[in-house]
A = this chain, B = another copy of it.
Amino acid sequence: MKSFSVSQKTSDFAVAIVPGEAIDTYGVGKVVASTNPEFDKGDIVVGLLNWGEFTVIKAGGMLNKLNTMGFPLSYHVGILGFSGLTAYAGLFEICKPKKGEKVFVSAALGSVGNLVGQFAKLSGCYVVGCAGSKEKVALLKEKLGFDDAFNYREETDLNSTLKSYFPNGIDIYFDNVGGEMQEVAVSNMNINGRIAVCGVISEYLDSEKRAAPSMIEVIYKRIKIQGFLAGDYLNIFGDFLSTTCDHLRTGKIQPLEDISDGVESIPSAFISLYRGQNIGKKIVKIAEE
């Protein structure tokens, strides 16, 4: 049994890539043999594992025993792992939402975006998400409780689109895409608006597609644009975990996973991620227990 997190940002985890060695990623697995007295055969563990059925973890590797708390293993590489912490830290530590504020989330069905929207709704915010298909828009509104959502691929004038969805302006923009969407978000932002910059799929795919937001608006509206990585917020991991587990148990948050099976699905998992085809957290399951 082994599940991997698939991320646009595998370098989140400061992986040293040594020629000839396997590249690690964040995953859960079960110990099949151990010479380390801290780990016993059968222990469920989480940490940096190879992209394969078995991983040899050497001394100094990042590996911890995992208390599953009764949740599926896949949750621990997604909603209860770095994706969840990213959403939680970006929203609460950087954007600090207040009840009634207007929140916009791009790539809102991604592993992070869907949780940002759900956390923001639980904070009493008005939340609009954008995604890349009708099916996704329906999911955002019907399953995840977003107040509204739109398919950006159908819009020809994103500035007007945001104006129509936010007639009273945007207070918080959780940016998973960069590019033009960030520019129009700045144009539709209220005074003291906050942008958490979490992902820039537009730049990953084409470095020319950079956002050029109006700095005049950034000044006059006192906008904050803040990049962040979840790894800086391990100090709040405990708070995040207990809050999120509570919400999962009471059904206030819906986990959203997109799981593919087998080592052979790894390339297609990455391709679908970069094409924005995943619905929620993209996970590769290598083996059943």
Contact flags A204-233 to B (C-beta < 8 A → 1, else 0): 100100111111111111111111110010
Contact flags A174-196 to B (C-beta < 8 A → 1, else 0): 01001000100000000000000
The residue in chain B whose Cβ has the minimal distance to the Cβ of A229 is B222
Q: Are A199 and B219 in contact (CB under 8 A)?
A: yes
Contact flags A224-253 to B (C-beta < 8 A → 1, else 0): 111111001000000000000000000000
Q: Are A210 and B210 in contact (CB under 8 A)?
A: no
Interface residue count for A (Cβ, 8 Å)? Answer: 33
Which chain B residues border A204 with CB–CB below 8 Å? 216
CA distance A34 to B253 in the complex (A): 65
Q: Are A227 and B223 in contact (CB under 8 A)?
A: yes
Q: Contacts A210-B212, A213-B210; is A224 near B222 (CB within 8 Å)?
A: no
The residue in chain B whose Cβ has the minimal distance to the Cβ of A217 is B227
Partner of A214, one of B182, B203, B218: B203
The residue in chain B whose Cβ has the minimal distance to the Cβ of A204 is B216
CA distance A71 to B178 in the complex (A): 49
Question: Which of A175, A204, A222, A229 has the most chain B CB within a 10 Å cutoff?
Answer: A222
Which chain B residues border A178 with CB–CB below 8 Å? 215
Which chain B residues border A212 with CB–CB below 8 Å? 210-212
CA distance A216 to B200 in the complex (A): 7
Q: Are A198 and B222 in contact (CB under 8 A)?
A: no
Q: Are A226 and B224 in contact (CB under 8 A)?
A: yes
Query: A87 within 8 Å of B by Cβ?
Result: no
CA distance A224 to B196 in the complex (A): 9
Question: Which positions in A face B, CB cutoff 8 Å?
Answer: 9, 11, 175, 178, 182, 197-200, 203-204, 207, 210-229, 232
- What 19 new A-B contacts, CB under 8 Å, besides A182-B215, A204-B216, A218-B225? A9-B219, A11-B220, A197-B215, A198-B219, A199-B219, A200-B215, A203-B216, A210-B212, A210-B214, A210-B215, A212-B212, A215-B227, A217-B227, A219-B227, A222-B226, A222-B227, A223-B227, A224-B224, A225-B225
